[in-house]
Structure 1
Amino acid sequence: MTSETDATDMDAARARLTGLTCLGITAVGWGLNWPLMKILLRDWPPLFSRGLAGVAAACILAAIAASRGQSLAAPRAIIPQLLFASFTNVFAWMGLTTVAMKFIPVSEGALIVYTMPIWTLLLAWPLRNMRPALRDVAAVVLGLAGVALLLGGGGGAPFSGDRLLGIGLSLAAAILFALGNILNRKPLPLPPLAAVAWQVGLGCLVMLVLGMVFEGPRYLELSAAGLACLVYMMLIPMAVCYLSWFETLRRLPPAGASAGMLLVPVIATVAAAVALGEPLGVREMAAIGLTLGGVALALGRV
C-alpha cells in the first residue's frame, strides 16, 4: 500500500511539475508577444498584421487537431455561439489590443486588458445576479487604483487624443472579453484545438479583410525584424502557447492556472522596458502590484 501511495504521489508531483512548466511557457510566450507586436507595427498596420498571423496560426492549429484525430466539423446549430465567441475572445481581445498598441506603451495596454477578471466580476452582478462581496469591492478598488496610478504618469500629455483612444480600446477589449466569459459559459461542443482553430481563424480573418480594405498595407515594407516578429506571432503565442495552455489546464487547478497568467503583463512590461526602452520604475511596479493584487482577488470569484 505504501509503495502504491508513493507511486501516486510521484505521478502527481510529475504532473504538477509538467503543468508548471507548461504554464511558464505560456506566460513567457504570451508576455513577449506584446513588445514584439509593437516592433511589427513599425512596418505593417495592426489589423492586417495581427489578422495575417492569426489566420496562419489557425491553419497550423487545425492541422495539429486533424493529426490528433480531432474533428474540425462545426455543427450548424453552434454557429451563432461560435461567431459570438470569435468576436469576444479573438476579434475584440486581439484586434482592439493590437490597434491600441499604436497609441500607448506596452505596460499600459497589457495591464489594462488583464483587468478582465475585475470586469467579469462587475458584469456578473447584473447578468448573473452575483452580488459583490467585500472581497470583490477590495478587488475593484485595488485594480482600478493600480491602473489609475499607471495612467496618471503618461508623460507630458496624459489626456491626448491618441492616448485616450489607446486606453479606450484596451478597456473595450477587457470588457468585451469579460462579457464573453459570462455569456459563453456553455463550452463549444468541439474538441479544444478545433474550437481554438475556429475562433482564431474566424476572428482573425475579419481583421485581415478589414486591414486589407481600410489600412492599405504596403506588403513589401516588412523588415527582417518585422518578419521575425510575424513568424514568432504565428508559431508561439497562437500555436505553441495554446497547446501548452491546454496541457496546463490538464495538470493544474483552474484557479492556479488563471492566477499564473498574472505573470503575462509583468513579463510584457519588463520585456518592453528592455526591448523598447519603455519606462520601468517605482510607479510602474507599484501600479502592477496594485492592479494584479485586485485581479488575484477577483479570480477567486470568477
Structure 2
Amino acid sequence: MTTGTDAAETDAARRARLAGLACLGITAIGWGLNWPLMKILLRDWPPLFARGVAGVAAAGILAAIAISRRQSLAIPRAAIPQLLFASFTNVFAWMGMTTVAMKFISVGEGALIVYTMPIWTLLLAWPLRGARPTLRDIAAVLLGLAGVSLLLGGGGFSFSGERMLGVALSLAAAVLFALGNILNRTPLPLPPFSAVAWQVGIGCFAMLVLGVAFETPSYQALSLTGFACLVYMTLIPMAVCYLTWFATLRRLPPAGAAAGMLLVPAIATVAAAGVLGEPLGLREVIAIALTLGGVGLALGRA
C-alpha cells in the first residue's frame, strides 16, 4: 500500500527526472549547435584566437557565477599541477585542437571523431590501469572505427594534407581528453564552477596568447554574423550549458547523462547540413549510427 509520503517522494523523483531530461536536452542542443556556428566564425577570425576570446570571456562569466554561489576561487598550491594538466587535456586539447581542425574538415567529421573519446578511454585504460578489454569493449571499438571509417571513406580515402591534419587534430583531441579522464581520477579540490572557470580560463588564455602571437588576427574582420556566433559561443556552450549540465548531473544518473551526450555529434551533423550545406545522406546516417553505437557500448562499460 502506497502512503502519502511515498507518493509525494515518487512525484518529486519524477519531476526531478523530467527536469534533468530537460536540462540534458538544453545542454546537448547548445553544444551541438556550437559546432556549425564555430565554423562560421572561422570565416572571420583564426581558430585559436576566436576560441580563446570566447573562452576567456566565458571563464569570467563562470567565475562570477561561482562567486555569486559563494564558491571560493582560491587554488590550493598542491592542486596547481593537476589543474594545469586538466586545463591542457580538458580545454586546450579538447577545444583548441577541435577548433583548428574545423578549418580543414567538415563539422560532421570533426564532431564524430572527437566524440569517440569513450572508446579511447577503454583502450588507454588497459595499459594505464590494467583494465583488460572485454568482448563488449572490442565490439565498441570495432563499431566506432567502422562508423568513422565509413564517414571518412566517402571520398575513397583520398586525404589531402589539410584534411589529414584536421583528422589528426580531432583524433588527438579525443585521445588527450580520454587520457585526462584516466589520469585525473582524483577530482580537483575546488567547487564545481570554480574548477570549470579556472580550467576554461587557463586553457583558453593559452589559446588567445598563441592566436595573437602566430595567427595575426584582423580585429576588424569580424562581421555581424561572426560577432553573433562569438556571443553564442561565449554565453550558451560555455556558460548556460555548463549550468544545465551540472543541473543534469544532480538529477540523472551519470551513465544516463553521459549517454545523452551522444546527441551532440548527431545534432552538430544535422545542424551543419542545414546551416552550412554539408552532406547528410544515408552514408552519413549509417556512420553516425555505427560510431555512436560503439560509443554507447563504451559508455555502458565505463
Residue matched to 1:180: 180
Answering whether residue 4 of structure 2 is matched by residue 3 of structure 1, we say: yes
Please report how far the alpha carbon of residue 91 of structure 1 lies from its aligned counterpart in structure 2 after TM superposition. Answer: 0.1
Secondary structure, aligned partner of 1:132: coil
Q: Deviations over 1:166-206 (max 9, x none)?
A: 00000000000000000001000100000000000000000
Distance 1:188 1:243 in 2: 18
Please report how far the alpha carbon of residue 154 of structure 1 lies from its aligned counterpart in structure 2 after TM superposition. Answer: 3.3
Residue matched to 2:32: 31
Distance 1:154 1:118 in 2: 25
TM-score under structure 2 length normalisation: 0.99
Residue matched to 1:59: 60
Q: What is the RMSD of the two structures over their aligned residues, measured on CA atoms?
A: 0.8
Number of residues of Structure 1 aligned to a counterpart in Structure 2: 301
AA aligned to 1:81 is Q
Distance 2:186 2:301 in 1: 18
Superposed, 1:85-164 pairs within 5 Å as 85-154=86-155, 158-164=158-164
AA aligned to 2:110 is G
Gapped regions of structure 2 (runs ≥ 5): none
Please report how far the alpha carbon of residue 300 of structure 1 lies from its aligned counterpart in structure 2 after TM superposition. Answer: 1.4
Gapped regions of structure 1 (runs ≥ 5): none
Distance 2:176 2:170 in 1: 10
Please report how far the alpha carbon of residue 2 of structure 1 lies from its aligned counterpart in structure 2 after TM superposition. Answer: 1.0
Distance 1:251 1:154 in 2: 43
Answering whether residue 279 of structure 2 is matched by residue 247 of structure 1, we say: no
Superposed, 1:72-87 pairs within 5 Å as 72-87=73-88
Distance 2:158 2:175 in 1: 22
AA aligned to 1:214 is F
Asked whether the 8 Å contact 1:51–1:204 carries over to 2, the reply is: yes
- Structure 1 segments of 4 or more deviating over 4 A? none
Distance 1:93 1:64 in 2: 23
AA aligned to 2:38 is M
Asked whether the 8 Å contact 1:29–1:236 carries over to 2, the reply is: yes
AA aligned to 2:168 is G
Q: Deviations over 1:76-132 (max 9, x none)?
A: 110000000000000000000000000000000000000000000000000000000
Residue matched to 2:284: 284
Asked whether the 8 Å contact 1:51–1:206 carries over to 2, the reply is: yes
Asked whether the 8 Å contact 1:43–1:221 carries over to 2, the reply is: yes
Distance 1:81 1:141 in 2: 33
Answering whether residue 254 of structure 2 is matched by residue 231 of structure 1, we say: no
Asked whether the 8 Å contact 1:145–1:290 carries over to 2, the reply is: yes
Distance 2:169 2:243 in 1: 28
Please report how far the alpha carbon of residue 239 of structure 1 lies from its aligned counterpart in structure 2 after TM superposition. Answer: 0.3
Distance 1:79 1:138 in 2: 38
Please report how far the alpha carbon of residue 218 of structure 1 lies from its aligned counterpart in structure 2 after TM superposition. Answer: 0.1
Asked whether the 8 Å contact 1:38–1:101 carries over to 2, the reply is: yes
Distance 2:75 2:236 in 1: 25
AA aligned to 1:192 is P
Please report how far the alpha carbon of residue 74 of structure 1 lies from its aligned counterpart in structure 2 after TM superposition. Answer: 0.6
Distance 1:132 1:154 in 2: 32
AA aligned to 2:219 is Y
